Every structure is written in C-alpha cells, then in structure tokens.
Amino acid sequence: MRRIKVFDTTLRDGEQSPGCSMNLSEKLQMARQLDALGVDVIEAGFAIASPEDFRSVEAISKTVQNCKVASLARCTQGDIDAAWNAVKCAKYPRIHVFLATSDIHMEYKLKMTREQVLESIAKHVAYAKSLCDDVEFSAEDASRSDWAFLSQCYAAAIKAGATVLNVPDTVGYSTPQEMFDLITYLRTNTEGIENVDISAHCHDDLGMAVANSLACLRAGATQVECTVNGIGERAGNASLEEIVMALKTRREYFQMETGVNTQQIYKTSKLLSSITGVPISPSKSIVGANAFAHESGIHQHGVIANSLTYEIMKPSDIGLPQNSMVLGKHSGKHALRDRLSQLGYEVSKEDLDEIFVRFKALADKKKTLTDHDIEALALSRARTVAETYELISHVVSTGKDITNIACVKIKKNDEVFEEVAIGSGPVDAAFKAVDRITGLDVALENFSLNAVTDGEDAMGEAVVKIRFGDEIYTGCGLSTDVIESAIRAYINGINKIVGSK
C-alpha cells in the first residue's frame, strides 16, 4: 500500500469561494477538527492577503499539534516573509510558493517571459528555503502549460530546495487521462523529481476534480490537495471526503491508503457547513443527506436482506449518527454528555451546561429527541460567539393583508432594550426592530431556512449573510420556531460584527 499525503486547503482555496469566509475563531475550530480528522497538511491561509489572514494562519500554527501548517505566497519576498512569519511557530511549518507557468497567464497576467519566470522560481524558492526546510512549489495553471517548459520550472524549483511539487489543474480543464499522462511525463523528464513529493491540485469546473486527482495518484503523485465538501474557487476543489473514501472503498484497486480517520468525516463536513451556512446538497456523494438513504422498495428490500446489495460503504465508516432515539425530557446531564461523546462531541463543562439548558427547552417542545437534534444543539453551541446582544423575547403580529409588526426584547451587558418595528414580513419587521436596538447600519444580503432535524416538530436553522461595511458576516440560529431561528441568526451575525471590532 502506498501512503498518500492529504493536503487540506479548505481554509485557503476553500475559504476563497463566495459565502465561505470564516472569522478567526471559526478557522481555529475548523483547523482543530482537521487535525482530529488526520490530514497531513493544513493550508491555513494566504498570510499576506490581510492582517486578519495573517493572524488566522499564525493562530492555527500555534494551535495545531499533529499536521503541518502551510501558508501560501506569491513569488515575492514580501509574500514569503509574511508566510514564514505566520507559520514559523508551527510544529511543522511549510511555505507554499506559487507562480503561473502557462503561456496565457505569463503573457496576460504576469507579463513575464519564460526566462523571467524560471529565474523568479529559482530565486524565490531558494529564499523560502533559506527560512523554512519544507517548501512546496506550485506551477499555477500547470495543466495548460507547455510540458517541456513546465518540467524546466519544476527542475529549477527542486534545485532551489523545493520538497513538494504541486501540479494544479487551476481552471478544471483537464481530463483524467491527460492528468495521468502529465504526471507520468513529469516523472520521466524532470531531474531530481524522485526525491520530492508530487502533488495533485484539481478544480471541479467540468466535474472531474476527484477523477483527475485519483488519476494523478495512480500516475505516481504522493500528495493530494482537496477541501472538505469540495468548497473552493468557482465550481470548487476536489472533495476530500470523496477522494479519501474512494481510496478506502476501492483499496484493492488503488493499493493506496491515507492517514485520515474516516469516522471523523461526517462531523467535519457538518461543522464546515454549519460555520459557513453553506448547505450540503442532499445528493452530495459521501456526506449528502441521501448518500445512505434507500427510498425505492426494491433497494430497501435488498438492503434489509444484505446491506452489501446496495451499500458500498457503511454509514459508520464516515461516523454518521445512527439516529437512535435515546433521550427525552427526563434525561439528565450525564446521559446527554454520554450521547454527545458517542456522537464525537467532547464538550467542556461550560458548554455542557449551556447545551443542557437548550436541550431541556427543546425536550419540552419535542416529543422525541433524535441524534440529529443533539448534534444540531452541539453544532449551534460550537459556533457561539461572545454574546454582546442576547435575545430575551419576541412577539410578531402577522397575517394576510395586515401590517407586520414585531416587538423584540434584547439584553446588552445587563441592560434590556425593547423596540417595535413594522416590515414587509414578520422576519423583516423583527430584523428592523433589532436594528433599532443596535443602531448598526447592517444590510441583509441573504436569508435561508432549513429543517435540520426530522419530523413535523423539526428544528429550523436560519442562516443570514449580512453586510457591514465591506465585510459579509454569517449568522446562524436554531429553534423549533422559525421566526425565533431568524432573529437568533441575525443577532448571531451582529455579535460577530461587534466581536470583530
């Protein structure tokens, strides 16, 4: 079995995708979970991009214990210095330097000749190497580059000290056979390549990112770059869970393995979706709600007789909760803690106290509490920010052809405020009442509502994207009452704004 290294770029390439931005504490939470998942490298961000990006990469470097932490840098001294300063406190730091090598990028974007590109790679990889032992070099748009020139670029990077060569299909243009041939060509024609890791980095514009990544691995790549839930620029990156589960499920075929603890996959996927407010499509491979659901009678019959008839993976392989109904309004804190722990959530005493209060309130409203309910409570606690504003109560008056009125009562630092507003609907009226209390000039960019648990008394999760200045903040709120979910989500977003100032 060949051991493949998994390089996770959820917090860099993934975070670049619209609607997926995360604040510092959210990135830290994700990084801890990626560490528990067992990836080999976390690309924590692009340190030069902004002071916040720098702080996040630095904080992740200080926190993560098991995996390497990388920061991206263009071929400039300033970028490389920022990357190094942000990762140097990591146990295993890496600088990831990139420069485009395709004719179209060199001519129109970089305005550099081939000679200048070769010189820049040699100079900047050597500079990165003078700071950090572990240097990855990426030839951006490698798959559309001239192969002979590309091979020269990688040889220059190896000579300057690169330890990993990344081969990106930046625009998701290639096919699996082409990627297989490209890696084979590079392995045969690049001096020194046998001493370094070869990495695949595929985008999903034509829906082939996972197939392309697997083809690279079959051709001899030793590292694969991917993101949780496949988030990323445009159509996204290759999805981590799909690659890992393909290698595990078809182990005999691929003869490869990773260090990922697959039982953490479901939790990692859920956490990301819950932090970003970006839902997972029900038919998404591996982690979609329907990935293990059997609807048709013929399939159900087969699965009951022998699950192998229609199931190539077990739900437990990815840590999917089995939805056993165990807790109710008479259950105590110990039982709740045990269940949380069985679901993979180790919570502090303070978190347990908080979750327990909400658990009791929910148990008063719902007849039965499923694992999905418990999980939703744990996730909603996990994304709690400092509660500058806290919802106390609300009343809305709504109906057809009448004015929608909301009265909202909110606590801020032990002071209670109450405001009334009218709006185009009950949610709009409630948000306007909140605005009156906070006095913040916030614009609502997006609002969505999803049932996150089962049954007619399901909990609804509201997600808002609100703009304050140039920044978009995501707020999430959970309740069996959809208006309350919406107000909680709005206040959660506002608390993030206040917390970031």
Q: What is the dihedral of CA 271, 275, 280, 285, to 10 degrees?
A: -40
Q: How far apart are CA 314 and CA 321, in angstroms?
A: 11
Q: What is the DSSP letter of 68?
A: E
- Closest CB to ligand KIV among residues 170, 438: 170
Instruction: Kindly state the smallest distance separating residue 140's Cβ from Zn ion, in Å.
Output: 8
Rounded CA separation 335/316 (Å)? 21
13 binds ligand KIV (CB under 6 A): yes
CA atoms within 13 A on the CB side of 101: 29
Stretch that binds ligand KIV, among 76-84, 166-174, 205-213, 266-274 (CB under 6 A): 166-174
CA dist 91 and 492 (Å) reads 34
Map residues 4-33 to x or -, x wherever contact with Zn ion holds by CB under 5 A. Answer: ---------x--------------------
Minimum CB separation from ligand KIV for residue 224, in Å? 13
Could you tell me which of 50, 38, 47, 49 has the C-alpha nearest to residue 8?
Answer: 38
DSSP 107: I
* Strand arrangement, sheet containing 443-451: 443-451, 460-468, 471-479
Q: Among Zn ion, ligand KIV, none, what does residue 98 contact (CB within 5–8 Å per kind)? A: ligand KIV
Q: Is 204 in the site for ligand KIV (CB under 6 A)?
A: no
The whole-angstrom separation of Cα 25 and Cα 499 is: 11
Number of residues that bind Zn ion (CB under 5 A): 1
Residue 129 lies near ligand KIV (rule: CB under 6 A)? no
Residue 439, Ramachandran bin (φ over 0: left; ψ between -120 and 50: alpha; else beta): left
Say if residues 47 and 54 touch (Cβ distance below 8 Å). Answer: yes
User: In whole angstroms, how close is the CB of 105 to ligand KIV at the nearest point?
Assistant: 10
Q: Is 137 in the site for ligand KIV (CB under 6 A)?
A: no
CB of 174 to ligand KIV, least distance (A): 12
Of 143 and 370, CB closest to ligand KIV: 143
**274 near ligand KIV (CB under 6 A):** no
Of 15 and 317, CB closest to ligand KIV = 15
Closest approach, Cβ 233 to ligand KIV, in A, equals 7
Residue pair 258/217 in contact by the 8 Å Cβ criterion: no
168 lies in the binding site for ligand KIV (CB under 6 A): yes
Identify the residue among 140, 241, 371, 484 touching ligand KIV (CB under 6 A).
140
241 binds ligand KIV (CB under 6 A): no
Residue 95's contacts (CB-CB under 8 Å, 6 or more residues apart) are 70, 71, 73, 80, 83, 84, 87, 128, 131, 132, 134, 135, 136
Residue nearest to Zn ion (CB): 13
Minimum CB–partner distance for residue 215 and Zn ion (Å) = 17
Which residues would be at the binding site for ligand KIV (CB under 6 A)? Answer: 13, 98, 138, 140, 166, 168, 170, 201, 203
Which residues would be at the binding site for Zn ion (CB under 5 A)? Answer: 13
